[in-house]
Structure 1
């Protein structure tokens, strides 16, 4: 397994991380037995970075990760945990809570569910517009001093928030959507992170499964699958975006790779400070993603990807309307 470092102050992690959200929430039903098998396969393959959140399945995802780690050495795994999302029992989002008291409370519950005495990277899922980021990050910094958290992360933070947070305490990484279809961070956020020594853990690198060989046109979604409420993945926007995937697939085939492998390899090629998170829920998807580590895209390949999927070519918002105000970027 190739390794990368999360920023100037963060831990060493595998070059690919496993995003665990889909095993518990937001993409429709998942097979728990297969999810655990996928987690074990990822760890056996050398993936050390596991990303979860306390609101993924209202705690279910953390318990799933705990079970997967039951017979593993804790120090062999880097746990990245998001907190702060407020939800009703039916899953409806109510906003975000970044108050210091909420930080410490959420952390206490996550430590218990995960069965660990520390979290490696802790971050609020979205900036709470009612609470200065200095207060939220300051509370995480207190947890670092106490030994309950090792490193501070950010998620979907805009440039001003990143600068203010980094002025309070060292920030290891920013978790934000970044893919061949979503390149908005290249304008301002990525250069700023590099200036401040902050890595990027890129989620959505496969555009929630759109960049694959298994997404049919006119797709229908299971109840509870948030993609069915997201413009980018429905209607005419989805048809347009699938055309971009077709163009990328042609580039991938010229290299003997799948379109998903090409998309992951493209993200890896954007810099050693970028760690893609793949949201595999099944072992076959995981093994396909791991194959991207054997694919090196040279200048001609990257130019071909650029021609197939120009920056800003994707259509449709990348989140449902109620989540758009909380995002660092509104467009690809």
Structure 2
């Protein structure tokens, strides 16, 4: 497992992090005992960042993670969650309440990184005037250590980064083989500011694993299929689609500190951990990928 510093936080994080959405069955049925076993295997394999949210399984992801971290394992991980919950507002009190409930589900006194979830869902002014101050209060109280923000909207992320009040950002499907637009302006800005970067959904919600999510817009699936066809030169194993090159593409990007794996089974987890050996795409392959889709977003804002 490779490790790096998460921006200016001082946290030493594994390049591969465990994403919490599949742990609650959001992408298909999961067995709770298998999930606990997989979390333990991830920790034993060197993964030290676990990312979850109250919206994942309406709190079930946090509950399962909390149970799996009993017996001293909580101190072995950097725990990241989000606010707000599925029934909460982005207002000051709603944010406080959301985090307090997360602490109970996670069975912990503190959360290392608390991120504002899908920031595009609330007005910029509300997040700056209410959500963020609530998290800053919780940080003063010792209930959270660092503050982050997540959204797929790159320009919005840049606005928040420029406030100099966030420690990390998280986006998804913005630095992957078929849409790498985060590298154009956002990643240079985070490097300049010393912001930690977490990358989610490097498989494009299943597109690069040849298993697109059933809720995916048909036009996006068709456009993705066209782009994937242009990446045939990266297909070296079957039936894994483009999973390996997609993972390596993100894991070896210096400006990305943590790449999340959405594994729901130990088998998938072990496969993805095997890619954490520091080997990326060949230089000519990387240049070709960049040239193919330069500036071309797959998902609209």
Distance 1:108 1:243, change over 3 A: same
Superposed CA offset, 1:49-76 (max 9, x none):
1010012111111111012111343221
Contact 1:159 1:192 in 2 (8 A): no
Contact 2:85 2:98 in 1 (8 A): no
Measured after TM superposition, the shift of residue 288 of structure 1 is: 1.5
1:27: which partner in 2? 27
Contact 2:180 2:293 in 1 (8 A): no
2:51: which partner in 1? 51
Measured after TM superposition, the shift of residue 242 of structure 1 is: 3.4
Query: Whole-Å Cα distance in 1 between the matches of residues 133 and 10 of structure 2?
Result: 17
User: Any runs of at least 4 consecutive aligned residues in structure 1 with deviations exceeding 6 A, and if so which?
Assistant: none
Distance 1:151 1:301, change over 3 A: same
Superposed CA offset, 1:228-283 (max 9, x none):
2221xxx45424423533543532529xx972121111112321543211101111
Q: Structure 1 residue 228 and structure 2 residue 223: aligned?
A: no
Measured after TM superposition, the shift of residue 161 of structure 1 is: 5.8
Gaps of 5+ in 1: 88-95, 220-226, 318-328
Contact 2:84 2:99 in 1 (8 A): no
Distance 1:100 1:25, change over 3 A: farther
Report the RMSD for the aligned CA atoms in angstroms.
2.6
Measured after TM superposition, the shift of residue 48 of structure 1 is: 0.6
Match of 1:303 among 276, 280, 287: 287
Distance 1:140 1:22, change over 3 A: same
TM-score normalized by structure 2?
Answer: 0.86
1:205: which partner in 2? 202
Distance 1:168 1:199, change over 3 A: closer
SS of residue paired to 1:211: helix
Contact 1:249 1:258 in 2 (8 A): no
Query: Whole-Å Cα distance in 1 between the matches of residues 270 and 139 of structure 2?
Result: 35
Distance 1:189 1:290, change over 3 A: same
Paired residue total: 292
Deviates more, 1:267-276 or 1:148-157: 267-276
1:111: which partner in 2? 103
Contact 1:261 1:291 in 2 (8 A): no
